[in-house]
Amino acid sequence: MAHHQILIVGGGAAGITVAAQLKRARVGLDVAILEPSADHYYQPGWTLVGGGVFSLQDTHRAERDLIPSGVHWIQDGAAAFEPDHNRVITTSGTAISYEALIVATGLKLCWDRIAGLTEALGQGGVCSNYSKDHTAYTWEAIQNFKGGNAVFTCAPMPIKCPGAPQKIAYLADDVFKKKKLQANVIYATATPGIFGVPVYAAPLREVVKRKGIDARYNHVLTAVRADKKEAVFKVTEGESSREEVIPYNLLHVTPPMAAPDVVAESPLANGAGFVEVDQFSLQHVRFANVFSLGDVSGMPNSKTAAAVRGQAPVLVANLLALLDGQPLEAAYDGYSCCPLITGYGKTIMAEFNYKQEPVPSFPLDPTKERWSMWFVKRKILPALYWNRMLTGAQHERRFVPGVR
């Protein structure tokens, strides 16, 4: 049986970052990443692919070029977790044992939970920035739009980057206004409000009002009738619910999301299927040598790559403490950041923690739309991701002992 001191399952934003930080902290560690994909995408860039600013290629790198020096890459997937035996069984049938395990598989996109969506996607104006296969088509659909209803949906939480479904609505609205099209931009969201963090929801409500966007809350997309160009929603009103059919000329869909089955069906899962870790230490509540970070982890933070920046140094400190027989003292404060693009050249840099307090990285009022934050989103954050975060070079100031 293969054995590694530290086995990381998933080589996405979280897996690569934590591997790089572990090797920087202790070069002699035997670290392996189990990741089937040869391709790595900077998913936060997909909003700007859909908005015609980046190409899909701009967001792509070969996985092999990102694996930190000295880390073993096992190009295979996890098919089963056996934490009682400290081992993972891979898709090809190999067993890998470990001293410590880090689960970082990200989320699965549940397109098939919406009737007719899989067949409709990628044609007839039905697009989604949530898939590498369809985000370029979003820009095509926006450019081809001639007027009528442009409908943007948002699925029930948790989803990755809860701001992304509305960002593309604001960009599309800018394009339509510039072309002087007769457009009804409808933002139909499963959530009861525009954004979960009150201090940022207030300016977003103003943005929606200023742009004349028709925001409809508690709207869950259930079906797409591509032949009639209709989107079907279940609308909850108090105790009751009703069906609402909205005709569309353009439909941007945010699919429901869940933990991958291999995690959800494992002994590591909580009731919702996510990895059941302590929200501060990131250590599993039942298996002491198991940790998790990124989208698949069960903490109640907003699921973003930015959150990984806050989580990775905490996880590394606590994992090393565990290996050394020391107490686990580092704590994650729930940091997340959603650069809320409100149009071309405008962004609200929404940074917040578990307590929903603003925790801005810049000495500026974070609730304001700014060109400077658009510049940060467009130029700085991608460079930070590739050159500092994934290389483990970023020193994260949110390493907060005693935050509990």
Q: Exactly one of 127, 154, 337, 338 is catalytic; which is it?
A: 338
Provide, rounded to whole angstroms, the least separation between the CB of residue 33 and ligand FAD. Answer: 8
Core vs surface per residue 152-169: b (16+ CB within 10 A) or e: bbbbeebbbbbbbbbbbb
71 touches ligand FAD by CB under 6 A? no
Category of 343 on φ-ψ map: left (φ > 0), alpha (ψ -120 to 50) or beta: left
**What residues between 317 and 346 interact with ligand FAD by CB under 6 A?**
337, 339
338 is catalytic: yes
Closest by Cα among 209, 127, 197, 125 to 168: 127
351 touches ligand FAD by CB under 6 A? no
Query: Given candidates 6, 29, 31, 35, which one binds ligand FAD under the rule CB under 6 A?
Result: 35
Residue 90 vs 229, nearer CB to ligand FAD = 90
Starting at the edge strand found earlier in the chain, the sheet holding 250-252 runs: 126-127, 250-252, 148-154, 183-189, 214-216
**What residues between 167 and 226 interact with ligand FAD by CB under 6 A?**
none
Give the binding range for ligand FAD (CB under 6 A) out of 102-110, 189-197, 323-331, 396-404.
102-110
162 touches ligand FAD by CB under 6 A? no
Give the binding range for ligand FAD (CB under 6 A) out of 37-45, 54-62, 241-249, 271-279.
37-45
Distance CA 184, CA 381 (A): 32
Starting at the edge strand found earlier in the chain, the sheet holding 219-225 runs: 219-225, 230-237, 240-247
Give the binding range for ligand FAD (CB under 6 A) out of 67-75, 156-164, 187-195, 273-281.
156-164
Please give the backbone phi and psi of residue 150, each rounded to the nearest 5 degrees, phi first.
Answer: -110, 110
Residue 247 vs 360, nearer CB to ligand FAD = 360
110 is catalytic: no
The 8-class DSSP code of residue 387 comes to I
Q: Which residues contact 82 (CB under 8 A, 6 or more apart)?
A: 88, 89
Residue 45 vs 203, nearer CB to ligand FAD = 45
Residue 219 vs 303, nearer CB to ligand FAD = 303
For CA atoms 275, 276, 278, 283, the dihedral sign is negative
130 touches ligand FAD by CB under 6 A? yes
Q: Do β-strands 148-154 and 250-252 pair in parallel, antiparallel, or remain unpaired? A: parallel
260 touches ligand FAD by CB under 6 A? yes
256 touches ligand FAD by CB under 6 A? no
CA 94 and chain centroid, separation? 30
- Which x/- pattern, by CB under 6 A, does the window 269-308 give for ligand FAD? -------------------------xxx------xxxx-x
- Which x/- pattern, by CB under 6 A, does the window 8-27 give for ligand FAD? -xxxxxxx------------
396 touches ligand FAD by CB under 6 A? no
Rounded alpha-carbon distances, angstroms, from residue 108 to 43, 146, 259, 360: 14, 33, 6, 30
Tokens coding 349: 């840099």
Give the binding range for ligand FAD (CB under 6 A) out of 35-43, 54-62, 209-217, 273-281.
35-43
**Mapping DSSP to helix (H, G, I), strand (E, B) and coil, where does residue 28 land?**
coil
Distance CA 243, CA 241 (A): 7
Provide, rounded to whole angstroms, the least separation between the CB of residue 274 and ligand FAD. Answer: 11
Closest by Cα among 297, 257, 300 to 105: 297
Instruction: Give the footprint of ligand FAD on this chain (CB under 6 A).
Output: 9-15, 34-37, 43-44, 46-47, 77-78, 104-106, 129-130, 160-161, 164, 260, 262, 294-296, 303-306, 308, 337, 339
**Residues designated as active site:** 161, 338
